[in-house]
Amino acid sequence: MQKIMIVDDEALVLLDLTMTVEDLGYEVFCDCTDIETALSCLEKETPDAALLDIDVGGTPVWPLARALQECGCPFVFVSADSGHKELRTEFAGAALVDKPASTDELARALQSIL
């Protein structure tokens, strides 16, 4: 079963994403409300993919996205804010799903990167 990391600072959104990922047949590798916890999860193992909010508690997710890239882990940004310049430059090739994301949108995004 493929393992998915989920990072979002809003607890209810995180819970919804976690339930959706499980309903889609994936295992939740780690679900985090902050970047530091997510980075510490990466020290133990690498997930098969990740769903990342862009603004995590006021902190941009870029350091985690870079760490995932270094591990060879694909990811999808799940955010209501697609205006960041990094999405047009450094992460131009990354998948982006607008919030609120439907189950179908998340399923397609995960299928496209796995």
pLDDT tens sequence across 61-91: 999 999 999 999 999 999 988 888 999 999 9
**Is-above-0.85 flag for pTM?**
yes
pLDDT tier for residue 53 given thresholds of 50, 70 and 90: very high
Query: Do residues 101 and 113 touch, judged by C-beta distance below 8 A?
Result: no
- Residue 3 — φ and ψ, nearest 5°? -105, 130
pLDDT tier for residue 34 given thresholds of 50, 70 and 90: very high
- Mean pLDDT in residue range 87-104: 93
pLDDT at 44: 87
pLDDT at 47: 97
Query: Do residues 51 and 21 touch, judged by C-beta distance below 8 A?
Result: yes
- Mean pLDDT in residue range 21-40: 96
Residue 38 in this model has a pLDDT that exceeds 90: yes
Q: For CA atoms 100, 91, 86, 30, give the dihedral sign.
A: positive
